[in-house]
Structures are given as C-alpha cells and as structure tokens.
Structure 1
Amino acid sequence: MILDPDELRRRDAHIDSLAEVLDEPVLPTGDGPLSGLSFAVKDSFDVAGRVKRNGSTAYDERPAAAHARVVEQCLDAGATLVATARMTEYAYFRPTTTRNPRALEHTPGGSSSGSAAAVAGGLVDFALGSQTKGSTIRPASFCGVVGFKPTYGRLSTAGMTPMARSMDHPGLLAADLPVLSRLAAALLALSGGGATPRLGVVDLDGELPGVFEPAMLERYAAVAAALLRDGHASRTAIPVDLRAASELWDDVFHPEVFDALGWLRTHPGYAGVGELVRDAIETGRDPDRSGYLRALQRRGELAARWAAAGEWEVLVLPAAVGAAPAGLESTGDPLPTVVTSLLGLPAATVPAGHDDRGLPLGMQLVGHFGDDDAVLAAARLVASVVE
C-alpha cells in the first residue's frame, strides 16, 4: 500500500501522526521481501538530505548526509519511505500532538507516538520507532498494532539520535503479524519458525498487586488460561522485580542521557526544550559516576537472573498496565516494559482484544537475550489464541 502525498495528508489530518509527508517518496534501492510496502520513520532517524527534529524546537539543523542504517535496510529490501513520524520530545515523556486512531481522545502512547498511530490509521504498512524504556511495545498496545523490539544490538542504531546508548533499540511497528514476519526476515534474517516455544504465565495480582487495570487483568487471565489449557504454557514467576528494574533503569539512564544530549545545554533554543527533557539532562550531570558503575554491575546481576530462568523460553506479560489513558497529557506507564530495555531482551506486542470501551489491549512476549525467533513464534501462537 503506497498512498500519494496528498492522500496521506488528508487521512492524517485528524490523527496528526506525521511530522513530514515527503512530496517525493524515497524509492526502494532494491527488490526484496518488503517490495510494495510503504513505511514511515520516527523523526529521530536520519533520512539523507533531511533535517531530523526529534520532536523538538531545538535540534541540529544540518541535513543528514546519509540514511540511518535501518532505513537503508528497509529501502534495500524493497520498501518505499513516504513520511517521517511525530514523536515525544527527544524520545522522552513530553507528549506530541498525535492522537490515537482507535480513540481520538486518548493517547497513542510514546515515544514512538506517530509511528504507532500512522500504522493503526492505515497510512503506512509499517513504521520504524525506537525504545529506551517502553516506546515501541506500549504504543503498539495502545494503538492495537503489532510491535517488536529485537535483542539489543540486533538492529543498528547508526543514524538514530541517541538517548541512553546502552538501552537504545530501534523498534518495528506493523499492521499485522504477516507484515512483521516480512520485516523480521528482511532486517534480521528471522523466521519465527521451528518448534513452538515453551511459554510462562504469571500471577499478576500476586506479584504486582495494584499495578494493572481490571480489564487488563481479566484479559491476561483469559489468555493465560487458554495457553495453559492447550499445554503451551506453565505457571511461573517473573525472575526480576519490575519495580526494582525501573529504579535501576533511572540510575543507568540519567548519566547516559547527559552524555547523549548534554550538547543541547549550549543550544540557543535550550530554554524552549521541555522541562522533562531538561530535568533528565541536568540530573545526569553529576561527574561522580560511581553510582552509574554500581548500576551497571547490578544490571549484570539481573541479566544473569533472567537468563537462569530455564523453565520457559518466552514469558507472557501485559504490554501495558491497561488501555490507552484518556487525554494527550500523558503517554502512559512504561513499568511492564522497562526490564526488556534495561536488559536488552527481545519483546513483541500482539493485539489481544479490547476493554469494555472498545480500546485495544496488548499482550507482551519477552524472550531470553538473543532468542528473537522464539519471541516471534510466541507472538504467532498468542495471536492464534486471542483470535
């Protein structure tokens, strides 16, 4: 599906998902598994000859000399680039103007707000996003599309604006699992085939009381029951405390965001940068990095604990605490996704029904480091259960 620029603008008018519609789409440089598909890229990825704005009024005004590596991969595989997508400012929590196509008065999530909304609105077949905490998995859940964050390092971040380099991941958002499968084959040489992975399901109320909304708890329980009944899953515990992982994420994040975005402090437009971004940068200024080094050591301990969980290959969790919150002032709570970014784990979101207001709910599939194929296979299995 490749829409002409005027049609893209018309369809996007009520969603406001696109930062820039390209009057001259960037045509494929090859012929491959993505031929005939259109895509948008989050406005933090380089597009040759274009200035990326990172959702901010303060940015580097030099046009990109070349495409980001993952953009180049998509073009080489036959896809056509038609637009850039809106995002929260510097991929943090200051919302953009994008609305959720499934419910216009609700957030699409963030920070890959426009990427998820453009796919959900039928403007493109897939979009590139990113994730440093929950910025692909959560928007996919809120907008009722498929999301995938590969293992850390599997997709290149070259040409993507850094935020926290040891946790930055390019992310993929697709209209459905067949499109995601084509993306995984083209960009990652993954098939999601082979033996059905062993899944783990958990007692959410027991492990994380008060975190999830009733509709998400009910939907998760139904999915878990179906997987248990069919012999695809066993009951287990989450190997890492998600709240502790979130606190540790902060300790890693702030020094890294200062290293990545501290240059903005000398930008003439720094005063216009949102308070949330400025606070994150200033918090990371502390020259004593002993706390950061301790956080890295602790992260290694959590990674070892996750890797030692051998009774399952993929853990099934909610992709968000509930459906998309009302209003555009917040992009939602990233708690259910933080451990995947902190530890670099592969994760996917599949749509899993709706709450009683008709808002999408998504399930998250989290694998062991490097086992992306098992996550894709699990996504197909869970999707077949919720259909």
Structure 2
Amino acid sequence: MALEMRVLQPDEWDVWYDQLELAFGGVPESPQERKLYASLTEAERSLGVWDGGTCVGSAGAFTFRLSVPGGTLVPAAGVTMVGVSPTHRRRGVLTSLMRRQLDDVRAAGEPVAVLTASDPAIYGRFGYGTAAYSLALDVDTSRVRLDVPPGTDAVRLRLVDPEEALADCERVYAALVPGRPGMPARQPGWERQALLDAPAMRAGGSPLKCVVAEGPDGAVAGYARYRVTPAWDLAGSEGRVDVFDLDALEPAAYAALWRYLFGIDLTWTVRANRRPVDDPVLHLVSDVRRSRPRFRDSLHLRLVDLAAALEARTYGSPLDVVLEVEDAFCPWNAGRWRLTADAKGGARCARTEEPAELALSVRELGSAYLGGMTLASLGAAGRVRELRPGALAAASRAFAGDVAPWLPHGF
C-alpha cells in the first residue's frame, strides 16, 4: 500500500504522538507532558505519514520568533516531533517530510527554521548547521568557591511557589531575549513548559523549587528554578542541586542566585545543563576544572529565505562580500549573492553577477548566522573557500557576535 502524507487532524493527535514515542524508544511520557504538548501542537503545521490506518512518520513546527544579532525577533519555524517508525526507515519518509516542511516554511514567509537534534548527523543533509552550543556543569561545591561582585549582599532572596512566581520570571526572561541571539520569545503557553514537574520526572528529587532575587526597589531581578536530590553514604550527605533555569537582569542578582544554590544544606554538587557557553558563572567560580564544564550542540539552524534572513540581523563591522552559496535541497537559495552591511547595522542581500569572493554551503551560513561559529574556523576546516584574499577575515569579523547564541529550553 502506498504511503500517504497529510496534515494532522486534531482528533488524530494521540495516535500521531504514540508513533513519535515509539520512534524515540517507546517509553511513554507522563500525562502532564502529553497534555502540555497536545495543547502546544499546531495541527495545521504538523504532518503525518500513514500506511493504511497506521501512522509511521511525523514532523511538526511551532511558530516562533527568534532573537538574532542586533535584537530583532525573526519569524522562525521551530521544527519538532520528527520521527519515523522502525518499520519504515530507509524508505525516504524523513526526506519527504523535510521536503514538504521546508516548502511550507517558505510559503509561510519564515526566513529560518531551527531544531534540536536527537542525532546531529541527520540534519546536515537538509541544510541545517549547528548554530549554538550549550554548556553543562557539575560543580563540586565542597572545593569551589564563588567570588561575587559588589552589591550581592544587598540582594534579597525569597523562596516562592514556581506557579506564583511565573509572571515575574517571564518578565525577566522577556527582557533578556533581545540581548542574546538564539533565544525564542515565549509564545502563549510556552511558559508552562518550565513548570512541568510530574513525579516520574523527579528521579528521586524534590518537587520543583523557585527562588527569586529582588533588588533594593523590591522588583524581581532574577530567578532560579531547581530541584534537590538527597543522597547519603557512610560518610554522610551527598546531595545534589539540579538547576533548570537561572536568569537575572544584573550581575549582583545573578551572583546571589548562584551563591544561594551553592550553599544549600546537605548538598555538595550543583548540576546545571543547557547553559550558554559564555555563562558568566565561569568567571565567578574559583576552579573551573572542578566545575567540570562540558559542551554539546544545541540549536541547529537553516536559512530558508537566505536574503531575508541575512538582512534581518546586524553585523559587527561594515561588510561588502559576494557569496557563492550551494543549496541542493532548497535551490532557490543557491547562487551568487552580494551582502553589504554598514556601520549602523543595516544590511542588504541581493543576487549578483559579480565574481564570488567566498564559497560555502547554506549549512555553513546557518552555523555562522547567530554569531557563535566563526566563518574563519569553518574556513580552517575547509568548509568555506576564500576566493579573494582578505574576504574571509572581513566576513568572519562582521558575522561574529558579542555574546554566544543560546537556546535556553527545548521544543
């Protein structure tokens, strides 16, 4: 029987999501998680592949606005819920889903698509490049001290119910979005993701906790959401603090939150995942080695409308370069483009017949787009070819950002 691809109908969601769980190993999510993602799913942007009455493939997209260098929020498709049944792999199902999805993203006028990859080797062939990494820490708080800035002692900390603090936490998060490329502006409903706290998700830890930092005016200037996992051996306590979110508007509040987490009684490890790779905590700790930093890929990005995407961001220095772009999967991006940017941040990208000065694929442009991966490093790996002396260094300086891009949560 021929396979059929079609847009998801709302009453098909449970069957469609069951297939996704099967593709990821068959472990069912908690009812709380399923309820949240059922509410967030945009059925009209979700695709299913059916073999008779059986769903054998899925792909969805969330409607996001993503921060890019300069602070603009660019419309972006948050690619999600991609999976193929084990019985139907190696039959072109994933390729057909990616083909249809990118055509739909282009028709919707979204310049970029982004995703997090369960297997990062999959998506490069569809033009996605790794645009942001994340940092994980396991800090030995029995040996690592914090050197906090002036004003930290004046910050007031309060333990609050995560639900009651949600509005204040969201105000802090929203204020930070324009200053950090890669952060999605929270669409309605997404604030609930951070509060997921099913007992099955705790792995022996406490219910989710929230501490807020208040400045001298009493306004919330930062927050941390975390869980404490008690543990004991013959030597005594071996508890751990798992940090899920920590955001702050100024250095004293930021440092006060970390100091609080480091000082929780009966714990000797602070574990934080999905932090920015340039997280300021690396400059507060006395011993980075005993904080055990580790890095992994986080956000993968694809330029869907190359010209619109490159014009949406600002550049760190004036630029005038002709790019020869390869894009076999979205051929409307392929060809020669002249990208110019002035000192005020304005940019223009248009097709040209002028000689190319840099040659690269759309994948490399996706990696460099948020300013975290330099074109110079990609050039050193042979992924960008310099056709005019000096063009690579100039373009690399212009694309680079002041802060590392960061995706603070999955989707």
TM-score, normalised via structure 2 length? 0.25
More strand by share: 2
